[in-house]
Structure 1
Amino acid sequence: MFFRILKKDLKRKKTMNVILLLFIILCSMFAAASVNNIIAVTGGIEHYFDMAGVPDISVAVENNNDEFEKELKALPSVSGIKTEKYFEVSSSRSFIHNGSKLNNFINPARLLADTDMALNYFDKDNNIIKSVEKGTFYATTSFTADTDIKEGDDIIVRLEGKEFTLTYKGYFKGALFSTETSSGPVLLVNSEDHSTLKSYGASQSLFGDPRRLYITSTDTAAVKELAEQYDHVYASTREDHKSIYLYDMLTAYIMMAISIVLMLTAFVVLRFTIGFTITEEFREIGVMKAVGIQSVSIRGLYIIKYLAISVVGALIGFFCSLPLQDMMMKTVSKNMVLGSENGSVMGAVSCIGVVAVILIFCYMCTRRVKKLSPIDAVRNGQTGERFGKKSVIHLGSSKMPSTGFLAVNDVLSAPKRFSMITLIFALCLLIVTLMSNFALTLKSEKILWAFSIPESDAHILDAELIGDMFRGDKDAYKRLMADVSETLEKEGIPGQVSISLGKNCKSYHKDNTADIMYWVTKGETVSEPKIDEGSAPRKSDEIALTGYAMKDLGAGIGDRIKADFDGEEHEFLITGKFSTFMGEGHTALLYKDIEFSSPNSSSGVQIHFDGSPDKATIDKNIARLKKAFDTDKIYNTSDMIKSMTGISDTLNTIKKMMMILTAIVTAMIVVLMERSFISKEKSEIALMKAVGVSDRSIIAQHTLRFVIVSVLACAVSLLALMPVSNVIMNFICSMIGDISGMKCDIDPIEIFVICPIMLILVTTIGAMLTALYTRTIRASDTASIE
């Protein structure tokens, strides 16, 4: 009997059941794909490191330091050392493609000979590269980013007036090479070609002889302790290197968040559907109870129905997730060699989890069955109680037209039902607007403070121009700023010039030791550093620290710490706490008078133009400076931040996908709800037709109800947008550095006009098209309650 009832119900409510099935397919598809993505990236990093042969610890040495290597070999815990030596090309302009100099990467390119490979490197098909054919090269993806370079193209390398031609064989994957757009590329070349190029440009390297040591050791702490005693020597454990793939994981977590919101939306829809079904089927439930069927059995009938729908939906969703997984993993697999042993299994487990959660939710939602009794079948689902509830608005006193009045009255008369719809629409809109805010914020001028850079209009990031600062010349930055100031004067562009420098130094507080980046801004500035607590340093013996740095040292505001600057000990008083991306958040902010030689980091030269020029004037000034300095590496603030974060474009892609998905989900919800309302209100619609109300008025009434709800949803979503955006943005940024107090930027046109109009338009069209079904109801149907 149960299965006959189930079969009848599935046939009778095709539209509702099909839409519910589509929701479950979407939930299962996104859950399976995103869980697989997260597992593939987080677990895949370990798998990738094993395949590449990444050792326990590696050390980057950025100068000729034989003494360090001698002491390293003497450590009893060290059982093996492999060395990779690099030849550095300081500027992208040294590479020429089709007659044009490259300008797509900022940091120096490093060339590695195939005979010096200490790890396993892989081509695009995940094959280990054993050697590189003479006259060819492989490169990491940042070398060809934003270019039309393709396999087989010739690249001319011009060094010190000499030229050498290499053929591009494709990108390669290096486990410890960053593929972010802001990172310098690595080129893998034949050993003979490497020697030739090095002889051409021996003076190219910013550091004497950059190399990386891959160390097998049973005591990584001892290696780190030894490295901290030397300048330009940086030790990183296997675990430390996993931060290279932070942005790959971030995309996966965003997609997981999307699937969770979709599941929440599906549950609200499911709650509405179950509640509506139970309310509509009061007669069937009352009769079943009258003939002795228990509430548990009746609830089981509904659970079996939704079990059938959810199992079918989960199966379809699982198979649909496979191409989605491939699409989501496309970028990640370009950077990593991933194992896929458990991908399908975890996808299946995710789908099973969706089914289980739906069943639990169904069981909770069917509790209302207990309240229905056989007498409800006689009383048309009413308990007989009357509360005399008054309507908020009255037709006699209302100045609205009858159609508008009926629509508003319907919404006010069923607040719980329409509140659920409002919540669903608000969640859908919130996803799109969040993505818009994130994408805009991560290229916004308003977050310049998060890079510990003073207010600026233009940024010179050409490694060739600023390279002398990293060669041990203490006065190099002064000459560079003087050169920029002189150029500004010649071009008739008044402005202030500053430069921000960083240096990793060993720091001490009581029994704690930490490697912290010390950051200082030199030159003329027009803004003070943003301090979260306390105050900015005002003297040469004062300092501000990030929360991470304070935790590293076990110190706080008011404490004194010591730092080793090139063998000279300095003592500082902590006066404040600040936030920054620099140094991954383990950073100290110095007073501008502090001097140190050979910095190992810089955010380039900043220029603040006088007179608060508009964007057009700033771009015009930048164009003139590019010509004067013969470089394309001068950016406005927005473009500079975009290149530093490297995630804005990814979020823009997700935003566009979510706009499409939101339109689809909204349309599905509208169709489901409106068909439910028409089914429930069949007698009322028939009565309205009997008293002469036209089809057009009825369709307008039903459409207007959803318009009202969508407008309310827009208001709710926009009110919640900024608080939610700021909380999530601070969480995302804390994964990159030590950030608090981040405020999201906003595009008013997109947030307050485009997105709401999209939601209201989809809702209006969906409701109007679905409401056309009311034309099939006749005046004679007033006696029908089926």
Structure 2
Amino acid sequence: MILSRILLRDLSRRKASLLVVFIFIFLSALLAAGGAGLISDLAGSLRLFFSTAKAPHFVQMHGGRLSAAEAEEIASWAGSRGLVEDCQISGMISIDGASLRFSGADEAETNSIMDISLVVQNPRFDYLLDMKNLIPEPARGEIGVPVYYAREKGVRVGDHVSLTHSGIQRDFRVSLLVRDAQMNPAVVHSKRFLMNRADFRELEEIFPDREYLISFRLSDSSRIDEFSEAWQKTDLPKSGPAVDYRIFYVLNSISDGIMAVVLGILSLLLLIIAVLCLRFIILGSIEEDYREIGVMKAVGLPRRTIRRIFLVKYLFISGLAALGGSLASLLCNPVLTSNILFSIGQAPSETSRYLASLSAAAGILLFAFLLLLPVFRRFEAVSAVEALRSGSVGDASGRRRPLPLKVFRGINLNVALGLRDILQRPRLFALLFLVYFFSALIILIPFHFLTTLASPDFISYMGIARSDIRIDLRYAGETETGLEELTGLLKMDPDIEGYALMMRSRYELEPDTADSPDDGASLVVESGNHSLFPLKYLEGTVPVSGDELAVSYLNSRDLNVKIGDSLVLKAGDTTREMRISGIYQDITNGGRTAKASFKGFPGLPLGYTLALDLGPGIDVQAKAGELGALLPSARVTHLESYLDQTLGSTILQLSRLITAAIALGSLIAVLITGLFFRMLAARDAGRIAVMRSIGFTPASVRIQYLSTALILLGTGVAAGSLFANTLGQGFVGFIWGFLGAPGISFVIDPLKAYCMLPLMLMGLVAAAAVLSIAGSLKKTVSVITVE
């Protein structure tokens, strides 16, 4: 009964302040539970998706023709390995973007960065699934289109696809959208279109290029590295990259994983604000209830009982908010998981999502009260005699000896009084400063990350140097001849200012040349002149001499090498010792690549890349289209398009969340400003009455409090900006380090980040401060009039 009366009385006395705390804990629990539910759904959906599709554990891509004898040799080798559960060779028809056109599109996919392949449904595993995660077989004249094109190009069932080569055109109706465990994400630049078997045989006569996926299912997926080592040591066909099950998982989870991380950051910042507000309210409650606490002690109630009374009160409010946030997250779940539902399908069970959401909300509540427990120890210091005698906690606001106004000479009097009030009562105003600080973080860290992701400079984190246009060529038997023609064409083109040719090859690593658990591992190396289009290096410099090698961050970590260490590369019977000259960032190809400048040391060829810059005033997009038309067998893209096609959907999804974060940060600043200055004006009623009696106008008093708010806002935003650009950037780099980019640097939009957003906050905070003290000023005026 006592607890109920105290709780009801406090709810009526402190409705506004308790409501604000309720909202913040509610939002913090909502975001934490939403992020946890998103991760749970992503993990469950991926498990079901990969299980239904029977995703291969190891895949070797092979460009060019594969003879029946070579296929038989692969099958024989796989049969001799007890670790191999099943082996499958899937033939694919490779087509260039200029040969593919969707109905309603203005032009063919000439500038697409995707490697496009036509396939039939696999017989035993590595199935392509429809939108119900069933294993489909298109009818004659029908085609299954990857979900990537539905998301990026708006392709829908019922549309038509035209395939053209050497004047021959075939039209197909889109009968289904295809989910592909290997090639679903936009960051994977290969896409498989599902065909009817009869149509596929006809198209084999029209399109000459072939590629094969040599896929393996293992009896023990934890032994992938062991199998990869054995495979790389063979002389079996492998003219292409090799990938495994773990990379498929990582690539399929990047987009939604980024969303979950941003939600987690926002939740943590909101929780800190909620704890600050709750701490402020509890201290204010102790001050207001000082006499009541003294009476409780005087009648013999133990300190533990008194502490429990107040603890239960705030625990009830916070628990209700956390539970509400957890339940609300379940309502928001369809919005957060819409990308998962579209790309890979629904998680098999909702129980894990509910448990994850409730656990996250419970964690928020527990963490909040662990931080608040020291505050409740203040009850220990309350003296029954002093409380009954004075009825006040004393100088809880932290007042100091008044500063003389001559210290602020040259400053407007009202502004000087506002600044002096902050300096005299720093403990009181620390709350507002910290709220503005964390509100700035809620806005700036996600905003900086979005502008970084959308910036052309982000290309450097993909292991690609900045250039105007990029040209990719698959390796095939006739590639060398075509390459000579291409370089000759580029030399003669007056629009091209410079270019660099790179060759991608696979090399074996000599055993015991690196502290790696995988002796006999391989390394994909891009060789050529990297000094013309250099990357930004985490450590060291670009490889210049023939014995220098730069490796990606994840490769340096896996191989445990640093600048100056050596690796021995092996190509056939030839070896070459390479010294590590640089370490760079790369989130593509599983984050494991390398770069060198050697010539005359041919490994297993995978393909070629040309980076080129145009002269001043040349239209990059138009030139890319012109080169694409001249080079139908090459993939020609300008880098802005490359980024848009790779990360466009992720950026769009993230931008919506950032908009919500900006609105949330602004709402927090407004709510706390209103609550704080309403409380402050009530506390300072006597002070305001004195100022009014000696001639200060209501406008002058408003300017004093407005000055206080804007000074605190300015310092809070400045401190938040500094923190976001240093420790905040480091935290984002720590998260991206798992993908291969630990040294990420924010690309900042100064106009929006340091002008537009602060001005918006300033206007909202100023309005909240003025409105919150207006009522108190009216009351003060009426009191003076009566007197």
Taking structure 1 as the reference length, what is the TM-score of the superposition?
0.88
Alpha-carbon offset, residue 174 of structure 1: 2.3
Q: Does 1:250 align with 2:258?
A: yes
1:421 aligns with one of 411, 426, 432: 432
Alignment match of 1:379 (pick from 380, 387, 390): 390
Q: Residues 387, 761 of structure 1: CA spacing in aligned structure 2 closer, same or farther, 3 A cutoff?
A: closer
Gaps of 5+ in 2: 514-518
Partner residue in 2 for 1:30: 31
Q: What's the counterpart of residue 704 of structure 1?
A: 707
Deviations 1:23-56 (A, max 9, x none): 1211111111111111222344233322333355
Indicate if the aligned counterparts of 1:543 and 1:572 stay in contact, CA closer than 8 A: no
Counterpart of 2:516 in structure 1 is none
Of 170, 194, 205, 1:199 maps to 205
Paired with 1:384 and 1:411, the residues of 2 have a C-alpha distance of 15
Whether 1:573 and 2:573 are equivalent positions in the alignment is no
List per-residue Cα deviations over 1:137-164 (Å, max 9, x = no partner).
2222222343242221122222332222
3-state SS of 1:571 partner: strand
- SS of the residue aligned with 1:500? strand
**1:314 match:** 322
User: Retained in 2: the 8 A contact 1:557–1:577?
Assistant: yes
- Aligned equivalents of 1:692 and 1:762: distance in 2? 29
1:730 is matched with 733
Does structure 1 residue 353 correspond to structure 2 residue 372? Answer: no
Query: Is the partner of 1:86 in helix, strand or coil?
Result: strand
Secondary structure of residue in 2 paired with 1:122: coil
In structure 2, how many angstroms separate the alpha carbons of the residues matched to 1:510 and 1:397? Answer: 71
Distance 1:295 1:366 in 2: 11
SS in 1 for 2:153: coil
Other structure's SS at 1:180 match:
coil
Cross-structure match for 1:165: 171
Alignment check: 8 A CA contact 1:136 1:168 kept: yes
Counterparts of 1:721-760 in structure 2, within 5 Å, are 721-737=724-740, 739-760=741-762
CA-to-aligned-CA distance 1:530-552 (integer Å, 9 cap, x gap): 55445543332332334543454
What residue in structure 2 maps to residue 651 of structure 1?
654
Gap regions ≥5 residues in structure 1: none
| Residue 293 of structure 2 is aligned to residue 288 of structure 1 | no
How much does 1:574 deviate? 0.7
Contact 1:56–1:217 (8 Å) recurs in 2: no
Q: Using the alignment, how far apart are the partners of 1:131 and 1:636 within structure 2? A: 36
Deviations 1:615-649 (A, max 9, x none): xx35x254245236438975554443454555444
Q: What is the aligned counterpart of 2:685 among 682, 687, 704? A: 682
Moved more, 698-707 or 2-11: 698-707
Measured in 1, the distance between the counterparts of 2:105 and 2:318 equals 59
Aligned mates of 2:79, 2:90 — CA distance in 1: 16
Aligned to 2:455: 444
SS of the counterpart of 1:513? coil
Match of 1:589 in 2: 595
Cα distance in 1 for partners of 2:451, 2:399 equals: 52
Q: What SS is found at the alignment partner of 2:479?
A: coil
Q: Residues 99-151 of structure 1: CA distance to partner in whole angstroms, max 9, x if unpaired? A: 63343731221222236473444332x24134223322222222234324222
Contact residue 537 and residue 585 of structure 2 kept, 8 A: no
Q: Which amino acid is 1:626 matched to?
A: G
* 1:48 matched to 2:49: yes
**C-alpha distance in 1, partners of 2:600/2:536?**
19
Aligned-pair CA distance for 1:753: 0.5
Q: Matched residues in 2 for 1:735 and 1:256: separation?
A: 17
**In structure 2, distance between residues paired with 1:405 and 1:558:** 60
1:217 equivalent among 216, 219, 234: 219
Q: Distance between the aligned counterparts of 1:285 and 1:147, measured in 2?
A: 67
Report the CA distance shift for 1:193/1:449 in structure 2 as closer, same or farther (over 3 A). same
Mapping of residues 96-495 of structure 1, within 5 Å? 96-98=102-104, 100-103=106-109, 105-114=112-121, 116=123, 118-124=125-131, 126-180=132-186, 183-201=189-207, 203=208, 205=209, 208-218=210-220, 220-221=224-225, 223-228=227-232, 229=234, 230=236, 231-232=238-239, 236-247=243-254, 248-337=256-345, 338-339=347-348, 340-374=350-384, 375-381=386-392, 389-394=400-405, 398-456=409-467, 458-461=468-471, 466-467=473-474, 469-471=475-477, 473-474=479-480, 476-486=482-492, 488-489=493-494, 493-495=495-497
Measured in 2, the distance between the counterparts of 1:300 and 1:543 equals: 65
Q: Deviations over 1:39-87 (max 9, x none)?
A: 2223442333223333554444445142333312222333433443322
Contact persistence 1:120–1:128 (CA under 8 A): no
CA distance in 1, matches of 2:354, 2:533: 54
Match of residue 538, structure 1, among 539, 544, 552: 544
Displacement of 1:560? 4.1
Question: How far, CA to CA, are the matches of 2:163 and 2:613 in structure 1?
Answer: 35
Which amino acid in structure 2 is aligned with residue 681 of structure 1?
Answer: D
Q: How many Å separate the matches in 1 of 2:317 and 2:569?
A: 65
Distance 2:709 2:224 in 1: 63
Answer yes or no: is the 8 Å Cα contact 2:466–2:533 preserved in 1.
yes
Q: Report the secondary structure of 2:726's partner residue.
A: helix
- Give aligned pairs, total: 760
Q: 1:362-383 CA deviation, whole Å, 9 max, x = no partner?
A: 4322222222223134335255
SS at match of 1:744: coil
Contact 1:560 1:571 in 2 (8 A): no
Letter in 1 for 2:55: V
AA aligned to 1:420 is L
Q: Does the CA contact (< 8 Å) of 2:59 and 2:213 recur in 1?
A: no
One-letter identity of the residue aligned with 2:613: H
Q: Secondary structure at the match of 1:503?
A: strand
* CA distance in 1: counterparts of 2:680 and 2:399, whole angstroms: 24
Q: Aligned partners of 2:435, 2:770: CA distance in 1, in Å?
A: 19
Distance 1:384 1:257 in 2: 36
C-alpha distance in structure 1 between counterparts of 2:535 and 2:126, whole Å:
42
C-alpha distance in 1 between matches for 2:188 and 2:559: 30
Q: Specify the SS of the correspondent of 2:506.
A: strand
The answer to whether the aligner puts 1:516 opposite 2:523 as a matched pair is yes
> Between the two proteins, what is the percent identity of the paired residues?
18
Q: In 1, are the aligned partners of 2:459 and 2:643 still within 8 Å (CA)?
A: yes
Aligned partner of residue 704 in structure 1, secondary structure: helix
Q: Give the secondary-structure state (helix, strand or coil) at the position aligned to 1:293.
A: coil
Secondary structure of residue in 2 paired with 1:277: helix
**1:530/1:100 CA distance change after superposition, 3 Å:** closer
Q: 1:10 maps to what in 2?
A: 11
- What SS is found at the alignment partner of 2:567? strand
Quick one: which amino acid aligns to residue 367 of structure 1?
R
- CA offsets 1:583-606 (integer angstroms, 9 cap, x no match): 43333221153553773255x432
Q: 1:661 aligns with which of 661, 664, 682?
A: 664
- Kept in 2: contact 1:472–1:598 (CA 8 A): no
Classify 1:437/1:115 alpha carbon distance in 2 versus 1 (closer, same or farther; 3 Å).
closer
Structure 2 distance, partners of 1:444, 1:81, is 42
Counterparts in 2 of 1:548 and 1:313: CA distance versus 1, 3 Å: closer
Could you tell me whether the CA contact under 8 Å between 2:91 and 2:119 is conserved in 1?
yes
What residue number does 1:626 align with? 625
Asked if the contact 2:585–2:743 (Cα under 8 Å) also holds between the matched residues in 1, the reply is: no
Q: CA separation of 1:413/1:440 partners in 2, compared to 1, >3 Å: closer, same or farther?
A: same
133-142 vs 682-691, which moves further:
682-691
Q: Which moved more, 1:179-188 or 1:757-766?
A: 179-188
